Amino acid sequence: MASLTGKVMANGTVIRTPRAPTLGKAVILSSLDKDFPLGYYEKYMTLRLSQAGYATTVLTDTNVTVDFLVNQLNNYDIVIWRTDIYTWSHVEYFYVGETVNGATEQKYAADFSQGWINANAGILGITPNFLQEHLGNSSLSNVKLMIIESSNSVDIAPMFIYAGVTSIIYCNGLINLDYGLMDDLTSNLLDYLCAGENVYSAVFNSVNYLNNQAGMQDQLRSNIDDAYIPPFWFLGSSSLTIISST
C-alpha cells in the first residue's frame, strides 16, 4: 500500500493523502479566467492532483481553443472545464475561451453557418450540437473523469459520456463563477477523489455535508432559511476512482 498522510478539511473530514506514483495527466481549462480568475484555487487543485499522481496542465482564456476541445482532450486522464453559458438568438452557447479569428472561422465554416459556433460575444461559444457532431463514439476513451464547472453543464454531459468519458460530474441549473464558491466546491470534490473516494461518494459527500453534519442539522443555518445544496451530480461510472490502491 502507498504511504498516507493526514489532513483535516474545513468540514471536519479527515483526508488521507496518498503519496501516489505517477498515474497520468490532468488538464484544467479556465475559459473565462480573465474575468473570473481561478486565483488560489489553481494552485490548490494542481497540488491535490499532483499528490494523487497526476501531472497537471492549466490553460486559460485564449489558450482554450475549439481545436483543443475537439482534438486534445483525449490526451488527458482527468479534465476540469471551468466555463459558463450565454444565449444568442434563443440558442445556448458554452464559452470556449478562444477569441474570434479568421483561421478558426475558416476551418469550422460549416459549424458557424449551422449556428453551432458563435462569435458574437467576442469569445467563441459552442452548442451541444457542435459537441455531438465532433465528439465521436469512443473519441475520449482515455478520459477517466471530467468535471464541468458551468451553468447547465447537464446539457452537454451526455455527449462526453457517448464519446467515451468514464465518469462526468456536472452542474444542474445556473451557477455563478464569482466569489470562488464553485471553485471551492470543486476543490472539495477533488479532496474526496484524491483521498481515494469513488465518484458517487465524492459527489454525495460534497452535496450532503452542508445539510447533514455528523447526523445533525447544520447548526450554522437559520431554521427559516432554505438549505443550500451544491448543484453537482454525475453520469457514467459511480465506482470510478482516480488513485491507485497500491
Q: What is the pLDDT of residues 91-109, one digit of tens each?
A: 999 999 999 999 999 999 9
Instruction: Count CB atoms within 10 A of the CB of residue 136.
Output: 11
Query: Is the pTM higher than 0.75?
Result: yes
3-state secondary structure of 128: helix
Q: How confident is the prediction for the chain on average, in pLDDT? A: 88
pLDDT above 80 for 217: no
Q: Specify the pLDDT at position 227.
A: 64
CA distance 165 to 168: 7
Parse the chain into domains and list their residue ranges.
21-87+127-218+225-236
CA distance 214 to 216: 6
- With beta carbons less than 8 A apart as the criterion, state whether 97 and 63 touch: yes
CATH class of 21-87+127-218+225-236: alpha beta
206 pLDDT band, cuts 50/70/90, is confident
Q: Specify the pLDDT at position 154.
A: 97
Tell me which of 10 and 111 has the higher pLDDT: 111
Predicted confidence (pLDDT) per residue in 34-64, tens digit: 999 999 999 999 999 999 999 999 999 999 9
| C-alpha count within 13 angstroms, C-beta hemisphere, residue 17 | 15
Is residue 78 within a helix (H) or strand (E), and if so which, with residue range? strand 78-82
Predicted confidence (pLDDT) per residue in 114-169, tens digit: 999 999 999 999 999 999 999 999 999 999 999 999 999 999 999 999 999 999 99
Burial state string for 96-125 with b = 16 or more CB within 10 A and e = fewer than 16? bbbeeeeebeeebeebbeeebbbbeeebbb
